[in-house]
């Protein structure tokens, strides 16, 4: 997953792996999709098989552009290796791979800083609970003079 320099990259693969190891599941499953861990095993095996057929190398060894091309074909449902079994590549991409990667990425404090979120209230809690008030440690709006925010807030009241 592309990540902004210069900070250290978020260990997305390790976070997804830890989630699977700990047995943390979504609580539901798409029809035709095996449990999360099995879906990942089948999907990664199938992506490797597709890479070997298309580029004669393992997926992980491909250049980023070739990896992206293969993932775009998975997203479009254009992959057909027998290793997919009953899993639709399009479903694997959208409902397992993309979902788990995005959730892992934005569960990390470095991503919180990237989007300007101060993190969860615990353990210190929030001090100011009234509408449109910021706690002392929260960052100010990054929208210039705040006119747009004031206009939106005046419509809400």
Query: Is the omega angle on the peptide bond into residue 35 within 30 degrees of 0, that is, cis?
Result: no
Is the pTM higher than 0.85?
no
For the chain, the domains span 12-117
- The tens place of each residue's pLDDT in the chain, 157 residues long, gives 888 888 899 999 999 999 999 999 888 888 889 999 999 999 999 999 999 999 999 999 999 999 999 999 999 999 999 999 999 999 999 999 999 999 999 999 999 988 888 777 666 666 767 777 777 666 666 665 555 555 545 554 4
Vertex 13, ends 8 and 18: CA angle to 5°?
110
């Amino acid at each position: 997953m592309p990540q902004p320099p210069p900070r250290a990259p978020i260990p997305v693969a390790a976070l997804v792996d830890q989630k699977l190891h700990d047995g943390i599941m979504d609580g539901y499953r798409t029809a035709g999709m095996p449990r999360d861990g099995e879906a990942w095993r089948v999907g990664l095996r199938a992506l490797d098989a597709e890479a070997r057929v298309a580029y004669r190398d393992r997926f992980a060894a491909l250049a980023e552009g070739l990896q992206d091309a293969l993932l775009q074909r998975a997203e479009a449902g254009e992959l057909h290796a027998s290793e997919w079994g009953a899993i639709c590549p399009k479903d694997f991409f959208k409902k397992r791979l993309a979902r788990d990667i995005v959730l892992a990425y934005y569960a990390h404090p470095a991503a919180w800083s990237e989007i300007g979120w101060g993190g969860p209230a615990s353990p210190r809690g929030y001090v100011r609970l009234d509408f449109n008030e910021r706690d002392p440690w929260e960052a100010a709006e990054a929208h210039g003079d705040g006119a747009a925010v004031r206009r939106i807030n005046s419509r809400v009241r």
